[in-house]
Amino acid sequence: MTTATTRHSDRRISPVFLGICAVTAVTGWATWTGFAEKPGIAVFLFVTGAWIVSLCLHEYAHARTALHSGDITIGAKGYLTLNPLKYTHALLSIVLPVIFVIMGGIGLPGGAVFIERDRIRGRWRHSLISAAGPLTNVLFAIACTAPFWLHALDGVPPEFRSALAFLALLQVSAAILNFLPVPGLDGYGVIEPWLSYNTKRQIEPFAPFGLLFVFALLWVPQVNGVFFDLVDAVLRGLQVDSWQASAGWSLYRFWT
C-alpha cells in the first residue's frame, strides 16, 4: 500500500475546480450582501456551483481513500485534481445530478471515478472506499447548517438563508439516497464486499439502472412524501426549517 507513484502534478488542484469555487464564492457573496440585482440568478449560480463543488469532493473522497487502500493508479487518472472533466462518466457525475436538482430539488449524485478494485485487499477497505463519498455529503450538510444552529445568520438577507437551506437539503438528500443499498449507489458498494459471489453475479446486471430506478421511484407521490418527510426531520434536527429550503428552491428556479 503505497502512493510512491503519485506525482505532484497528479495532486495539483485543477483550474477548472478553482474556477467553479470562484463562481460559487462571488455569487454567494452577492446573495449574502444583497448586492445581486436579480437574487434568483445569483442563488442559482451559488447553489449550482456549491453543489458541483460537493460532487467533486464526493468523488475526491472515493479516490483518495482508494489511493491509500492500494489503487496507485488513481493519481494518473486525474481524480486527485478535483477536475470534474476527469471523471469517467461526466454525464452521470455532473450533468444528471444538476438536472435532478432543477427538476425535483433532489440531491442525487451519480457515479464517477473508476477504481481498480483488484488492487485493493480486504473487505473493510472496499466498504470504506464506497462510504467515503456520502460521508463527505454528511460533512457538507453539517457545514451548510452550522450557521443556523450557531445563530450566525442574524441580519443576513433571507435570500442567502433560503439558498443555504436548500443547499443543505441537497446534501442531506444526497447522503440518504447514496447510502441506500441499491446497485449503482454507494450504499450497495458498502455491503457488496460482504455478499456471496453468486449473489453479486445475480445483482450485477441491474447496477447500471439503479440510479435511474431510484430517481423514477421518487416520482411516486407516496414514496416522495416519505422520503422528504425524512429529509425534513433531519433538517429540523439541524435547526433548518423546511419552508426555508422550499423558498430556496423557488429562488433557485428563477425562470418559473
63-86 pLDDT, tens digit each: 999 999 999 999 898 899 998 888
pTM: 0.91
What mean pLDDT do residues 168-172 have?
A: 95
| Range in 77-86, 188-197, 202-211 the model is least confident about | 202-211
For 13, left (φ over 0), alpha (ψ -120 to 50), or beta? beta
Phi, psi of 89 (to 5 degrees): -125, 85
Question: 3-state class of 181 per DSSP?
Answer: coil
Confidence of residue 209 (pLDDT cuts 50, 70, 90): confident
Specify the residue for cell string 456471496: 196
Residue 3 has pLDDT above 50, yes or no: no
Residue 82 CB contacts under 8 Å (≥ 6 apart), including other chains? 13, 14, 17, 56, 57, 60
pLDDT of the residue at 109: 67
Residues that are catalytic: 59
158: which 3 cell numbers? Answer: 433571507
Confidence of residue 207 (pLDDT cuts 50, 70, 90): confident
pLDDT of the residue at 238: 93
235: which 3 cell numbers? Answer: 433538517
108: which 3 cell numbers? Answer: 442525487
**Mean residue pLDDT across the chain:** 89
102: which 3 cell numbers? Answer: 432543477
pLDDT of the residue at 1: 41
176: which 3 cell numbers? Answer: 440518504
Residue 51 burial (CB count, 10 A): 26
